[in-house]
Structure 1
Amino acid sequence: MELEKMLQSGSCREKELKALEHQVLHLATILKNDLSLLKTTSSEETLAVEEVLGSFDFLSHDLTADDDASCLGSLRLKDSGISSFQQSTLRSLGLLSKDSQSASEEELVIAPLTSGNWGLDQALETHLDICCILLQAIPTTDFSPSRRELLEEISIQTQVLNRVSCLLLEKNDNISARDILPKAQRSRDTLLFWQECGNSSSSPFFCHVDDFSRILKRRYTHKVKAKQPGQSDKVFSRLLLQLQAPCRLVPCSRSICSPERVSVFQLSAYLKRWSFQDLGEHISCLSREEYILSALNSPKRRRALNKLRGRAISALLPLGFTLQTLGALLIDSNHRVCKAASSCVCRAAGCKSFRNKAVVFYTESLRSPDVLTQLGSCLALKCLRATESVDHISDLWRSEDEDLRSAARETVLSFGKKGHEAFQRMDQLFTEMQEEAYKNQETEITIL
């Protein structure tokens, strides 16, 4: 019921969430209609359907379970090894009967519902889980740009579910990557790459993560143009990590339930997320950023910061790793490095694409439990003149760390009129905190 409850929440009625809710219900309707004959009481007809559903691992069989665990027919949860996510997904799509939802866990019976394609079921599980993760992340942030970022990710997942629904209605038994990927993403290299991935798993919808990495390296190493040992491995590892992340900038509470596989829809969503149509072109861009990132982490980091300007900045994606590194350089032990980093981030503020992503990343990083991360993020927001983050920066005044409070005060005051208003609130908060501490001290003395 988890996904369904989230979507039906009265506090989440943005158009993106309504579109997702509509698409989930539409998908559930298609799946149920495909198996309407299960409503019959005839045991022979039920058995015939169960034979068709023999490979239905997504809802009725855990990949790590024993071989003798049956995938056929109705399986009890206690025997199937189904994860808590899968249970909630089943309920959210109405795949558990009403009677079973009120029963004890041992008595819950799973309806043998499937798309009819085991590979598509695997991909569908991954993307329903991503939807759950994104919906869980929305209430955790009250920063509008972060919320927009999450809603954009939800829109991409809605498009994925819509494509799945279309494929189910088309009932094409010979589906290839050309049928799945949007027309804009059907470059020859990308199609050949995913065709090989699909061959490794005997499914056009997903492949094992090890096969994905191996084929990726073989087909795209020439795009990396490595200038340092090990750069290719770093680029491909970074790509896989980003591809499997539910959101590119906003941190989520957990990773996806199926890190052992990559779906064709994840590849498509990843390219759309970064506004690339060709995978090879994206890898070249990723390679350049990885090279810059390695320079920023080297003894010659000040020189690298000074060279990072103009087109070099606008060419950055930028990745969270890059933004994290720039934030750390703002509090580097070398004062000249700090100054160079500050100038670099100030220059980057002139690039709208960079600034928009950086403001989301650094504002979310203010919530980090690590004081140094908070400090670097605070200084980065000052360089970006992120007045939209002023309230979140003001919250740092509650910190016990004097350096962090000082940086917050300095940053807020640099924002002009809006900053001065926030500073007055901070000053009032500080006064209240002091009064509360004094009262507590007086009470303690009285008791003694």
Structure 2
Amino acid sequence: MNFNQTDKVVELTRKLENFMAENVYPIEHEYEQFVRNSNNLWVVPPVVKTLKEKAKTEGLWNLFLPEEYADYSAGLSNLEYAPLAEIMGRVEFSSDLFNCNAPDTGNMEVLARYGTDEQKKNWLKPLLNGDIRSAFLMTEPDVASSDATNIECSIVKDGDDYIVNGRKWWSTGVYHPQCKVLIVMGKTDPSAPRHIQQSMILIPMDAAGVQLVRPLEVFGDLHSPQGHGEVLLDNVRVPANNILLGEGRGFEIAQGRLGPGRIHHCMRLIGGAQRALELMCSRAESRIAFGKKLSDQGVVRDQIAQSACEIEQARLLTLSAADKLDKHGNKEAKDAIAMIKVIVPSMAQQVTDRAIQIFGGMGLCQDTPLPGIFGYARYVRLADGPDEVHSSQLGKLIINRYSKI
């Protein structure tokens, strides 16, 4: 494996780091204050539009799409995108500034890979331009959605239309004022074999019967302006040509979508953990307790050393997974993807927890980005599949591989 970056990525890294230093870090506190003001709920901070236009101008836009979609993006592989996603992960909201935010990245990849020309024209192009936002509706409150075959939302053919009924939650992005389209996973044929019962369909946000039930808080945070919502789909009627790829292809699309998405989450979390480590070191060197700096305390040095080791291990494992995905595809890389999905969020949570402890009371409040990094790491341990599911599947893969020797 060769993790040396190309000249193209080295230049993009330089530009992105400069952009963050000049435009993002200085407004981080201002942004957080704006979105936490109850008067600004579901309102995009005005500075976001300005910075998005600047990112476009500087060629820092849609960095996540691979080479076959170079007309839309920088045309990077997963391995090439990794250091850029890590930089963006240092600030919770910054991916949005470069049109590299979830769930839009996954939804754009789905439309780019599986969408018809009409679907691409109506939804992909506006998403790539940053004119609209989207949401992905798979998880349901009444079933264990970590097993996607449990999903009960119904997609029923009715003449030239489909009628969709179901209740979804943890639908990230539905409260964003620019959310215009939903990608919904449901069942078109419950009697079919288990993994071809599901389909995905495009539903305009303003379609009759789409009801936002309530926003869901993450550790008391609404994650405005995009939020996570519970959504009721009540006899939602859409044209039959809104189906993605065809009936029974939903599980196949989901697996193709979630592979790169899981890697993107891990890349961003490594950036968050790295920032937590840097903040931890700065605090330890500047804080005096019991007559000496925290950095002179053996236990603090040990925690910092351990954190640095864990971050680098996670980084190398994630680069390896990205390289395997690029070279061999999602199916062959599923073991590596499962590994990082188990390892990286827990690592980021643990490293950030140590940083919070070293900061003391300050680490718990809005004066540092640590609570946001910790919260992100914790909920990603459930998002895109809980740790236990990935561990179980990974164990099964490994047993099958070595029991045949």
**More helix per residue:** 1
Higher relative contact order structure (alpha carbons within 8 Å, sequence separation ≥ 6):
2
- Where on the TM-score scale, by shorter chain, does this alignment land: which range? under 0.3
TM-score (norm 2): 0.27
- The structure with the largest alpha-carbon Rg is 1
TM-score (norm 1): 0.25
